[in-house]
Amino acid sequence: MVFELASAQRHLGADVEIWTPNAIRAGSTEIFDGLPIRYFYPDPLMGLARSYRLHRELSRLPVDTVLHAHNTFNPLNVQVDQVATQRGMKAFFHPHGALDPALFSGWDFKSLKKRVYIRYFTRPKLNRATGVFALTPREHEQLISLGITSPIYVVPNGIRPLTALPRTAGEALRVRLGVAPEARVVLFVGRITTKKRIEDIIRAVARSGATLFIAGNPEQEPAYAAFLRAEIASTGCAERVRWLGFMNEAAKAEAYAASDLFVHASESEGMALAILEAMSAGLPVVATRGCYMSEAAAAGALIECAAGPEALADAMAPLLADPARAHQLGEAGRAYVTRVHAWAEIARATLRIYAGQGGVR
């Protein structure tokens, strides 16, 4: 998202650069699509989380420069806050859904560590900010519940619409994977990690009789991937599940063309780009409420349902049974993404907010 947003702002005439630590490219500047990306040496003890050189250069910027930082739990945000506070510069922060209380409500060490960090670092930093960006109204509510008092601006994720491939491209993938032409295919694309609740999708697909494509790197959490394989075996749908692995953009487009329905069942999701990509490809989408796509659901652009395999199966059933209905939903999703999630419009909104002209929700 960082590159796409900055690139879109640049195309609108804004003087935008991306600054980031990178041990390999440190000291260099690369130009991508007209957008400069400056790389700084990271600090030896903090790795990519902090850079003295980047901090020093931030301190030399004109005071009317606007700073926009991402990745909530990265100490680089502390550096941005320090420079902005010391010099009276505008600073905006973008949590990207990382401050959802569901992600640190437990009593394990990781959750406790996050709560301490939020209390002593994140919340004070955000309350000194010029503004904070939320992806959805739900995230706006979460930020307020955490005690954030700075202006909060709701600006959704953007998407660069995919070039939809013809159905024949999808049929070729089905042939390679040994999937019958008449089979109904459900697709999941994303990280293979516990919060995605892929086991719920597996159970729902097992009930439906459809074929499931799982796209993502199973080595990210090997123990979870092993659990999913056991779940597939126990539900008796092993012959109807295909693991596609990590896919590049071309492979994803082919997978969308080969599928009849896209499903996400995440416990908590800022705003999944995979869902927006599927919609931009014209694929009908079913998403649980934890994916925070209620505005799209209200607009008739996707189907939103409760968590759990039963609710997923019930939401999927009419779309799998009625291709015409599924196609209609897919076209509505495509139109919605084009209207609401175009990067140019999102870039305009953020630039207006930087200038103090944006509304607060």
Radius of gyration of the chain (CA): 22
Is the pLDDT at 361 greater than 50? The verdict is no
Would you say residue 1 has pLDDT above 80? yes
DSSP conformational letter for 289: G
For tokens 């953020």, name the residue.
350
pLDDT at 18: 96
- Cβ distance 304 to 297 under 8 Å? yes
Residue 303 forms beta bridges with which residues? Answer: 286
**pLDDT greater at residue 173 or residue 270:** 173
Domains of the chain: 2-158+342-354 (3.40.50.2000), 167-340 (3.40.50.2000)
Supply the pTM of this predicted model: 0.83
Distance from C-alpha of 259 to C-alpha of 184, rounded to nearest angstrom: 7
Percentage with pLDDT > 90 across the chain: 76
For 209-264, write each residue's pLDDT tens digit. 999 999 999 998 999 999 999 999 999 999 999 999 999 888 999 999 999 999 99
Q: Is residue 49 very low, low, confident or very high in pLDDT (cuts 50, 70, 90)?
A: low
Mean pLDDT of the chain: 92
Q: What is residue 161's three-state secondary structure? A: coil
The answer on pLDDT for 44 being more than 80 is: no
Range from 7-21, 152-166, 253-267 carrying the lowest mean pLDDT: 152-166
Per-residue burial over 311-348, b = 16 or more CB atoms within 10 Å of its CB, e = otherwise = bbbbbbeebbeeeeebeebbebbbebbeebbbbebbbb
Reply yes or no on whether the pLDDT at 319 is more than 90: yes
- Indicate the pLDDT class of residue 46, thresholds 50, 70 and 90: low
pLDDT value, residue 269: 79
Element (H, E) at 77: helix 76-87
**Least confident piece of the model among 165-169, 300-304, 326-330, 345-349:** 165-169
What pLDDT is recorded for position 75? Answer: 78
Output the pLDDT for position 302. Answer: 97
E strands, 177-334, are 185-189, 211-215, 241-245, 261-264, 285-288, 303-305
Predicted pLDDT of residue 12: 96
From 131, 47, 59, select the one nearest 95 (Cα to Cα).
Answer: 131
**What are the CA-CA distances from residue 43 to residues 18, 117, 290 (Å)?**
18, 21, 37
Partners of 245 in beta bridges: 215
**Weakest-pLDDT range from 47-51, 134-138, 239-243:** 47-51
